[in-house]
Amino acid sequence: MLKRNGKWEDFLTKLGDCHDDYERLQVVLGTEEVISHLPSQVEKRCKNLEQAESLRAKGNECFKSAKYAKALDYYSQAVRYAPHPSQDDSGSNMLALCFGNRSAAFFHLKQFQCSLTDIDNAIQAGFPAGSLHKLLDRKGKCCLFLKRKQAAIEAFEEAKQVLVADPNIQDKGRQDLIRLTDQFINKCKSLQGASVENSDTEIHEPLPTLLKRSSQMPCAADFLEIKDEAGRGRGLYASRDIKVGEVLIVEKPYTSIVLSDHHLSHCHHCCSRCFVPQPCAGCVDVVFCSSQCRQAAQDSHAAECQLMDAIHTADVRLGHLAYKMVAKAGYAYLMEQRNVLENLGQVEASMLGCDENGVYDSQNYATMYHLVGHCDKRTVEDMWPRTINAAFMVKCLQQTSFFPQWTEGDQQAAEKRFQDVCYIGSHILRHLMMLPCNAHEVSEMGVNWQEPSQSKTLEIGSAIYPVLSLINHSCDPSVVRHSYDDVCVVRAIRGIAEGEELCDNYGALYPVMDRAARQAHLLKQYYFTCSCQACVNNWPMYMEIPKEVMEFYCDKCRGPVPVPGIQQASKTESMACRDCGQRQNIRSLILKVGKLEQGFQDALFKVIFEMDVEGDTLPKLVQFLRVVDKHLHRPVSCHNDCQEAVKMCYAFKANAFPRKNNRSGAQQR
């Protein structure tokens, strides 16, 4: 429209003359030709009783044909569409019936813990009293299979009480059912052995912990600190020597989203895989892994509930995450803290985002407000689509309870409303520029047990981690990240000396991408030219990295100490450093590495070909990596191989599916 009317250049000029994001939103939301193309009302996707009934009926047909996995899928869809009792009395039983049916499908798939969860869901949703004894009988059988003796007896006893009290069951049928229930109770009483642990729904090992937390950054180890260095900006630095394998950060994001391809398989609140998907009470486009997550997401999800389809359809890269960040902060907070947030830039750089006590807390919105977005380096051509996307997002927010109710017809109130909308939109725009440089993926290892080499890391979500965002890039990173639900765990994969900066990788690793490609990628997305050791020395890609140990590190200057050939090695005691001339004992280092190498090779085989990361596999790899990282002059392939094996071990301990204990369930589904 603007181009057709000859106003496009004028529009870009106005946008280019703006001093901040607030002014940019004023230009866009004040331009009629733009506003007319933004939907005044976004279509909402609500509960649908007819759709739920249809899906449930399809599930019942599959169930009758013993197609339990297919039935489970239909029942899960029906659960999402079924109105909750408080919303629509005419469908008050539908949700409970869908839960009950799904519990039966889980039972026949031998997913007993999942069945128990849905039995409780069905009862809480108001399962019909006339069939309640069937549900309780199933609960008893699930507990029986799981060897939970007392719980099984209690469920069967409760089923008997319901049978006795139900006037609609004929006496003969009642007595037959009670007799059968008594038989199960007697079977329970003779039950031997320990109860079966709930392992079917585990997606990762227990979350690692920090030995001692930083007083400045609660999610980081106490030996990390924030520094601001010329030419690099803020970064995280070691205040003591750090060993390979140490846990450095365990960070819960300020907020996270599930990507649209995974929004029905993973929890909308914590990104965990949903084995028993719990529906939202208001929309059909998200699921939760538990009622606890659903409750925790209630406030932030209210601003996107029923609008998820529109937000996904808009296909704004990281737009949903920006939207959710603002929704979580809330209108009241953003308006109350406006002056504080805008004046944060006046404090010392290393203290940006800290609260009044000097704490840099990941759950504090201020920590994200001054993460770098490179606004000053963006062209107006880059800026205008982001600004229009922000305008669309804030229009979506206007259809929710996010904004207060304004008085209609009051000119002064209308002006205040426009200013508020522009200000909230400016936060979305700020994040749309910041997130491409600071957001991180939430990942899950897709495990292929038949072909281990085909296992691959899947990006299931995106999140903003304010502490993690402080770590700068290297093409030869010193840390690695893994997801436990949406919590990010950062470990050291190289030795990090006291005073040295921690370095992550921004998608440009030297073994798999040549220097020119890395530099181009980093400059385009992150606006800097990398000067890490791998770039400065133009380290070769993996296939060209030497297989044999050619040089050791000098103990004095970290320069290269040459290794003699095989024939001379046994006769040579020491060699001189090429840089400083210091002589170093070579024979002892060769023996030290050789002593550990066979254990490394055995562990490497287990990881790559058997995906066996249990027992002493990881400790052997970490031990070898610590030695070669300290002594072998890089690049050398055994360092890369060991580092990748260590990373793979950590990946299997983090989000990974299917795990050994839930492979059968995954195949059945």
Q: Which pLDDT score is estimated for 669?
A: 44
Most confident of the following: 249-253, 591-595, 609-613: 249-253
192 has a pLDDT exceeding 80: no
Q: Is the pTM of this model over 0.75?
A: yes
The values of phi and psi at residue 131, to 5°, are -115, 5
Residue with tokens 């037959």: 176
Task: State the pLDDT at residue 568.
Answer: 63
> Residue 667: pLDDT above 50?
no
| Average pLDDT across the chain, whole number | 90
Region 156-177: mean pLDDT is 79
| DSSP for 477-512, written as a single string | -SEEEEEETTEEEEEESS-B-TTPBPEE-SS--TTT
CA distances for 614 relative to 200, 207, 413, 652, angstroms: 19, 16, 65, 10
Does residue 207 have a pLDDT over 90? yes
Among the ranges given (179-183, 236-240, 382-386, 482-486), the one the predictor scored with the smallest mean pLDDT: 179-183
pLDDT tens for residues 360-378? 999 999 999 989 888 888 8
How do residues 84-143 score in pLDDT, each as one tens digit? 987 545 557 999 999 999 999 999 999 999 999 999 999 999 999 889 999 999 999 999
Pick the range with the lowest mean pLDDT from 270-284, 336-350, 537-551, 586-600.
336-350
Instruction: Centre a 10 Å sphere on the Cβ of residue 448 and count the other Cβ atoms it contains.
Output: 13
> Could you tell me which residues come within 8 angstroms of residue 581 by beta carbon, excluding any fewer than 6 positions away?
none
Predicted pLDDT at 227: 95
The rounded distance, in Å, linking the Cα atoms of 130 and 181 is 17
What's the first-to-final CA gap in the chain, in angstroms? Answer: 50
Predicted confidence at residue 172, as pLDDT, reads 64
Tally of residues, the chain: 669
For 393-408, write each residue's pLDDT tens digit. 999 999 999 999 876 6
Q: Does the pLDDT at position 7 exceed 50?
A: yes
Q: How far apart are CA 219 and CA 468, in angstroms?
A: 10
Indicate if the pLDDT at residue 520 is higher than 60: yes
CA dist 34 and 22 (Å) reads 17
Query: Mean of the pLDDT values across residues 176-186?
Result: 83
Residue 409's pLDDT band (boundaries 50, 70, 90)?
low
Residues 6 or more apart in contact with residue 381 via CB below 8 angstroms: 12
- State residue 202's pLDDT score: 82
Cα–Cα–Cα angle for 321, 325, 330, rounded to 5 degrees? 145
Report the amino acid identity of residue 650: Y
Q: What is the pLDDT of residue 509?
A: 98
Residue 445 in this model has a pLDDT that exceeds 60: yes
CA distance 208 to 484: 9
The residues, any chain, with a CB within 8 Å of residue 520's CB and separated by 6 or more, are none
Cα-Cα-Cα-Cα torsion 288, 289, 290, 293, nearest 10 degrees, comes to -60
Percent of the chain predicted with pLDDT > 90: 68
Instruction: Label the pairing between strands 503-504 and 487-492.
Output: unpaired
Domains of the chain, each with CATH number or no CATH:
1-37+299-464 (no CATH), 49-189 (1.25.40.10), 547-669 (no CATH)
